Protein backbone atom coordinates (compact mmCIF):
# COMPACT_ATOMS: atom_id res chain seq x y z
CA UNK A 1 0.00 0.00 0.00
CA UNK A 2 2.91 2.38 0.65
CA UNK A 3 4.11 1.88 -2.93
CA UNK A 4 0.56 2.43 -4.13
CA UNK A 5 0.39 5.77 -2.30
CA UNK A 6 3.65 6.85 -3.93
CA UNK A 7 2.22 5.99 -7.34
CA UNK A 8 -1.08 7.78 -6.58
CA UNK A 9 -0.29 11.05 -8.46
CA UNK A 10 0.73 9.16 -11.62
CA UNK A 11 -2.35 6.94 -11.48
CA UNK A 12 -4.59 9.97 -10.93
CA UNK A 13 -3.04 11.59 -13.98
CA UNK A 14 -3.75 8.54 -16.14
CA UNK A 15 -7.25 8.29 -14.73
CA UNK A 16 -7.96 11.94 -15.53
CA UNK A 17 -6.92 11.35 -19.15
CA UNK A 18 -9.13 8.27 -19.49
CA UNK A 19 -12.15 9.30 -17.39
CA UNK A 20 -13.90 12.57 -18.18
CA UNK A 21 -15.95 12.52 -14.97
CA UNK A 22 -12.83 12.26 -12.81
CA UNK A 23 -11.21 15.04 -14.82
CA UNK A 24 -14.29 17.23 -14.38
CA UNK A 25 -14.45 16.54 -10.64
CA UNK A 26 -10.79 17.35 -9.99
CA UNK A 27 -10.89 20.52 -12.12
CA UNK A 28 -14.17 21.71 -10.58
CA UNK A 29 -13.00 21.05 -7.02
CA UNK A 30 -9.73 22.87 -7.70
CA UNK A 31 -11.57 25.88 -9.12
CA UNK A 32 -13.99 26.06 -6.19
CA UNK A 33 -11.22 25.78 -3.62
CA UNK A 34 -9.15 28.45 -5.36
CA UNK A 35 -12.20 30.70 -5.68
CA UNK A 36 -12.93 30.34 -1.98
CA UNK A 37 -9.31 31.04 -1.00
CA UNK A 38 -8.56 34.00 -3.27
CA UNK A 39 -12.13 35.34 -3.47
CA UNK A 40 -11.52 38.16 -0.94
CA UNK A 41 -8.69 39.45 -3.14
CA UNK A 42 -10.70 39.45 -6.36
CA UNK A 43 -12.61 42.55 -7.53
CA UNK A 44 -16.00 41.01 -6.79
CA UNK A 45 -17.27 43.63 -4.36
CA UNK A 46 -17.91 43.78 -0.63
CA UNK A 47 -20.18 40.91 0.52
CA UNK A 48 -21.46 42.97 3.47
CA UNK A 49 -22.06 46.31 1.72
CA UNK A 50 -25.72 47.24 2.01
CA UNK A 51 -27.49 49.07 -0.85
CA UNK A 52 -24.73 48.25 -3.32
CA UNK A 53 -27.54 47.79 -5.84
CA UNK A 54 -31.33 47.57 -6.03
CA UNK A 55 -33.11 45.30 -3.56
CA UNK A 56 -33.72 41.80 -4.98
CA UNK A 57 -32.28 42.86 -8.31
CA UNK A 58 -32.04 40.15 -11.00
CA UNK A 59 -28.70 38.99 -12.42
CA UNK A 60 -26.98 41.61 -14.58
CA UNK A 61 -23.52 42.59 -15.81
CA UNK A 62 -22.97 44.62 -12.65
CA UNK A 63 -24.35 41.92 -10.36
CA UNK A 64 -23.95 38.48 -12.05
CA UNK A 65 -25.81 36.65 -9.25
CA UNK A 66 -28.24 39.47 -8.54
CA UNK A 67 -28.72 41.24 -5.21
CA UNK A 68 -30.42 40.21 -1.96
CA UNK A 69 -33.13 41.89 0.10
CA UNK A 70 -30.62 44.42 1.47
CA UNK A 71 -29.18 45.29 -1.91
CA UNK A 72 -25.93 43.38 -1.29
CA UNK A 73 -24.21 41.83 -4.28
CA UNK A 74 -24.86 38.08 -4.13
CA UNK A 75 -21.75 36.94 -6.02
CA UNK A 76 -19.22 37.88 -3.29
CA UNK A 77 -21.58 36.40 -0.69
CA UNK A 78 -21.66 33.09 -2.57
CA UNK A 79 -17.86 33.13 -2.77
CA UNK A 80 -17.74 33.80 0.97
CA UNK A 81 -20.16 30.91 1.45
CA UNK A 82 -17.90 28.58 -0.55
CA UNK A 83 -14.98 29.46 1.70
CA UNK A 84 -16.96 29.03 4.92
CA UNK A 85 -18.53 25.71 3.88
CA UNK A 86 -15.25 24.24 2.67
CA UNK A 87 -13.16 25.45 5.61
CA UNK A 88 -15.61 24.27 8.26
CA UNK A 89 -16.10 20.88 6.62
CA UNK A 90 -12.42 20.27 5.89
CA UNK A 91 -11.25 21.36 9.35
CA UNK A 92 -13.84 19.18 11.10
CA UNK A 93 -13.18 16.15 8.88
CA UNK A 94 -9.38 16.36 9.25
CA UNK A 95 -9.69 16.45 13.04
CA UNK A 96 -12.17 13.60 12.90
CA UNK A 97 -9.97 11.56 10.55
CA UNK A 98 -7.02 11.87 12.94
CA UNK A 99 -9.02 10.81 16.00
CA UNK A 100 -11.05 8.18 14.13
CA UNK A 101 -7.97 6.59 12.55
CA UNK A 102 -6.28 6.36 15.95
CA UNK A 103 -9.32 4.80 17.61
CA UNK A 104 -9.86 2.43 14.68
CA UNK A 105 -6.25 1.24 14.86
CA UNK A 106 -6.50 0.74 18.61
CA UNK A 107 -9.66 -1.31 18.18
CA UNK A 108 -8.32 -3.39 15.30
CA UNK A 109 -4.87 -4.03 16.74
CA UNK A 110 -5.52 -4.63 20.44
CA UNK A 111 -8.98 -6.20 19.94
CA UNK A 112 -10.58 -7.60 23.09
CA UNK A 113 -12.05 -5.04 25.46
CA UNK A 114 -10.65 -2.06 23.54
CA UNK A 115 -12.30 -3.28 20.36
CA UNK A 116 -15.63 -3.87 22.07
CA UNK A 117 -15.74 -0.48 23.80
CA UNK A 118 -14.65 1.54 20.75
CA UNK A 119 -16.86 -0.36 18.29
CA UNK A 120 -19.94 -0.09 20.51
CA UNK A 121 -19.33 3.63 21.08
CA UNK A 122 -19.11 4.12 17.31
CA UNK A 123 -22.38 2.22 16.86
CA UNK A 124 -24.09 4.45 19.43
CA UNK A 125 -22.90 7.63 17.70
CA UNK A 126 -23.89 6.22 14.32
CA UNK A 127 -27.45 5.61 15.57
CA UNK A 128 -28.17 9.31 16.16
CA UNK A 129 -29.28 11.38 13.12
CA UNK A 130 -27.07 14.40 12.44
CA UNK A 131 -30.01 16.79 12.79
CA UNK A 132 -30.85 15.53 16.28
CA UNK A 133 -27.19 15.81 17.26
CA UNK A 134 -27.13 19.33 15.81
CA UNK A 135 -30.09 20.38 17.92
CA UNK A 136 -28.49 18.95 21.06
CA UNK A 137 -25.10 20.54 20.38
CA UNK A 138 -26.67 23.90 19.50
CA UNK A 139 -28.66 23.78 22.75
CA UNK A 140 -25.45 23.29 24.73
CA UNK A 141 -22.91 25.36 22.80
CA UNK A 142 -25.25 27.73 21.00
CA UNK A 143 -25.52 28.17 17.22
CA UNK A 144 -22.31 28.93 15.37
CA UNK A 145 -19.28 27.53 13.62
CA UNK A 146 -18.04 25.54 16.63
CA UNK A 147 -21.37 23.78 16.88
CA UNK A 148 -21.31 22.95 13.16
CA UNK A 149 -17.80 21.49 13.42
CA UNK A 150 -18.78 19.47 16.48
CA UNK A 151 -21.80 17.98 14.71
CA UNK A 152 -19.75 17.11 11.61
CA UNK A 153 -17.16 15.39 13.79
CA UNK A 154 -19.76 13.42 15.75
CA UNK A 155 -21.53 12.34 12.55
CA UNK A 156 -18.42 11.25 10.63
CA UNK A 157 -16.17 9.72 13.30
CA UNK A 158 -18.08 6.39 13.37
CA UNK A 159 -17.39 6.01 9.64
CA UNK A 160 -13.64 6.41 10.14
CA UNK A 161 -13.59 4.06 13.11
CA UNK A 162 -15.44 1.32 11.24
CA UNK A 163 -13.35 1.57 8.07
CA UNK A 164 -9.97 1.83 9.83
CA UNK A 165 -10.84 -0.95 12.28
CA UNK A 166 -11.78 -3.28 9.42
CA UNK A 167 -8.59 -2.56 7.47
CA UNK A 168 -6.43 -2.82 10.59
CA UNK A 169 -7.85 -6.24 11.40
CA UNK A 170 -6.60 -7.46 8.03
CA UNK A 171 -3.18 -5.80 8.26
CA UNK A 172 -2.48 -6.76 11.89
CA UNK A 173 -2.31 -10.46 11.05
CA UNK A 174 0.22 -10.14 8.24
CA UNK A 175 3.76 -11.42 8.45
CA UNK A 176 5.64 -8.12 8.66
CA UNK A 177 3.58 -7.08 11.69
CA UNK A 178 4.27 -10.39 13.42
CA UNK A 179 7.98 -10.03 12.61
CA UNK A 180 8.05 -6.55 14.16
CA UNK A 181 6.34 -7.85 17.31
CA UNK A 182 8.80 -10.75 17.60
CA UNK A 183 11.69 -8.29 17.18
CA UNK A 184 10.46 -6.45 20.28
CA UNK A 185 8.77 -3.41 18.73
CA UNK A 186 6.30 -1.67 21.04
CA UNK A 187 2.60 -1.66 20.10
CA UNK A 188 2.72 2.07 19.31
CA UNK A 189 5.72 1.59 17.02
CA UNK A 190 3.97 -1.29 15.26
CA UNK A 191 0.85 0.82 14.69
CA UNK A 192 2.65 3.98 13.56
CA UNK A 193 5.49 2.48 11.51
CA UNK A 194 3.95 -0.71 10.13
CA UNK A 195 0.15 -0.46 10.22
CA UNK A 196 -0.53 3.23 9.56
CA UNK A 197 1.23 3.41 6.14
CA UNK A 198 -0.75 0.39 5.01
CA UNK A 199 -4.15 1.83 5.96
CA UNK A 200 -3.55 5.37 4.68
CA UNK A 201 -5.22 4.54 1.38
CA UNK A 202 -8.48 3.67 3.12
CA UNK A 203 -8.21 6.77 5.32
CA UNK A 204 -7.69 9.06 2.31
CA UNK A 205 -10.65 7.61 0.42
CA UNK A 206 -12.88 7.87 3.48
CA UNK A 207 -11.63 11.43 4.01
CA UNK A 208 -12.91 12.55 0.62
CA UNK A 209 -16.34 11.03 1.14
CA UNK A 210 -16.54 12.43 4.68
CA UNK A 211 -15.89 15.90 3.25
CA UNK A 212 -19.03 15.68 1.12
CA UNK A 213 -21.01 14.47 4.14
CA UNK A 214 -19.55 17.33 6.17
CA UNK A 215 -20.63 19.89 3.57
CA UNK A 216 -24.15 18.48 3.56
CA UNK A 217 -24.34 18.59 7.35
CA UNK A 218 -22.89 22.11 7.55
CA UNK A 219 -25.28 23.39 4.90
CA UNK A 220 -28.24 21.74 6.62
CA UNK A 221 -27.34 23.21 10.01
CA UNK A 222 -26.80 26.68 8.52
CA UNK A 223 -30.10 26.37 6.65
CA UNK A 224 -31.81 25.67 9.97
CA UNK A 225 -30.04 28.59 11.63
CA UNK A 226 -27.75 26.42 13.78
CA UNK A 227 -24.52 26.92 11.84
CA UNK A 228 -22.87 30.04 10.45
CA UNK A 229 -24.61 33.15 11.75
CA UNK A 230 -25.23 36.49 9.97
CA UNK A 231 -23.60 38.66 8.77
CA UNK A 232 -21.22 35.78 7.84
CA UNK A 233 -22.42 33.55 5.03
CA UNK A 234 -22.23 29.89 4.12
CA UNK A 235 -23.94 28.13 1.25
CA UNK A 236 -26.56 26.73 3.63
CA UNK A 237 -27.36 30.11 5.20
CA UNK A 238 -27.62 31.64 1.71
CA UNK A 239 -30.14 28.96 0.76
CA UNK A 240 -32.17 29.78 3.86
CA UNK A 241 -32.00 33.48 3.08
CA UNK A 242 -33.04 32.98 -0.54
CA UNK A 243 -35.86 30.54 0.28
CA UNK A 244 -37.92 33.40 1.68
CA UNK A 245 -37.91 35.10 -1.72
CA UNK A 246 -38.17 31.99 -3.90
CA UNK A 247 -41.22 33.19 -5.85
CA UNK A 248 -39.93 36.71 -6.59
CA UNK A 249 -36.13 36.20 -6.64
CA UNK A 250 -35.41 32.54 -7.48
CA UNK A 251 -31.84 33.38 -8.56
CA UNK A 252 -30.84 33.64 -4.89
CA UNK A 253 -31.61 29.98 -4.26
CA UNK A 254 -30.42 28.81 -7.66
CA UNK A 255 -26.97 30.39 -7.42
CA UNK A 256 -26.18 29.04 -3.96
CA UNK A 257 -27.86 25.68 -4.66
CA UNK A 258 -26.01 25.08 -7.92
CA UNK A 259 -22.65 25.96 -6.36
CA UNK A 260 -23.33 23.66 -3.38
CA UNK A 261 -24.38 20.83 -5.69
CA UNK A 262 -21.23 21.26 -7.79
CA UNK A 263 -19.06 21.28 -4.66
CA UNK A 264 -20.55 18.05 -3.27
CA UNK A 265 -20.51 16.35 -6.68
CA UNK A 266 -16.88 17.30 -7.33
CA UNK A 267 -15.76 15.99 -3.94
CA UNK A 268 -17.53 12.67 -4.59
CA UNK A 269 -16.00 12.41 -8.06
CA UNK A 270 -12.54 13.06 -6.62
CA UNK A 271 -13.21 10.39 -4.00
CA UNK A 272 -14.11 7.92 -6.76
CA UNK A 273 -10.94 8.87 -8.65
CA UNK A 274 -8.74 8.37 -5.59
CA UNK A 275 -10.38 5.01 -4.89
CA UNK A 276 -9.85 3.84 -8.45
CA UNK A 277 -6.25 5.08 -8.43
CA UNK A 278 -5.50 3.20 -5.21
CA UNK A 279 -7.29 0.04 -6.34
CA UNK A 280 -6.98 0.07 -10.14
CA UNK A 281 -7.93 -3.60 -10.49
CA UNK A 282 -11.23 -3.02 -8.71
CA UNK A 283 -12.02 0.27 -10.39
CA UNK A 284 -12.03 1.43 -13.99
CA UNK A 285 -9.06 0.33 -16.13
CA UNK A 286 -6.08 2.72 -16.14
CA UNK A 287 -4.99 2.28 -19.74
Q: How many CB atoms lie within 10 A of CB 275?
A: 19
Cα(100)–Cα(156) distance, integer angstroms = 9
Domains and CATH numbers, the chain: 2-39+71-278 (1.10.3720.10)
Residue 128's pLDDT is: 82
24-33, 127-136, 228-237, 254-263: least confident range: 127-136
45-65 burial, b at 16+ Cβ within 10 Å, e below that, comes to: bebbeeebbeebbeeeeebeb
What is this structure's pTM? 0.84
What confidence tier does 125 reach under pLDDT thresholds 50, 70, 90? confident
Q: How many CB atoms lie within 10 A of CB 66?
A: 22
Q: What is the pLDDT of residues 201-237, one digit of tens each?
A: 888 888 888 999 999 999 988 998 888 888 888 999 9
Please compute the mean of the pLDDT values over residues 242-264 and round it to a whole number. Answer: 91
Higher-scoring residue by pLDDT: 3, 89: 89
The average confidence (pLDDT) of the chain is: 85
Q: What is the pLDDT of residues 43-98, one digit of tens each?
A: 888 888 888 889 988 999 989 999 998 899 999 999 999 999 998 999 999 999 99
Residue 9's pLDDT is: 63
Cα(5)–Cα(11) distance, integer angstroms = 10
Proportion of the chain above pLDDT 70, given as a percent: 90
Amino acid sequence: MTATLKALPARLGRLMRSDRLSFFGIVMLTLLVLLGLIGPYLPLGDPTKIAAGPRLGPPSWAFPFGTDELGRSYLPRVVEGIRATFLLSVAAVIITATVGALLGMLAGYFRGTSDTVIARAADILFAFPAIIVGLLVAAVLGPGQISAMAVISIATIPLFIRVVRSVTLGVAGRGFVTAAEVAGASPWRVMIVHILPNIMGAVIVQLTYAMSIGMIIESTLSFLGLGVQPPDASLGSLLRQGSGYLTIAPWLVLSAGIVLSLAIMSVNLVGDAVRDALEPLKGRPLT
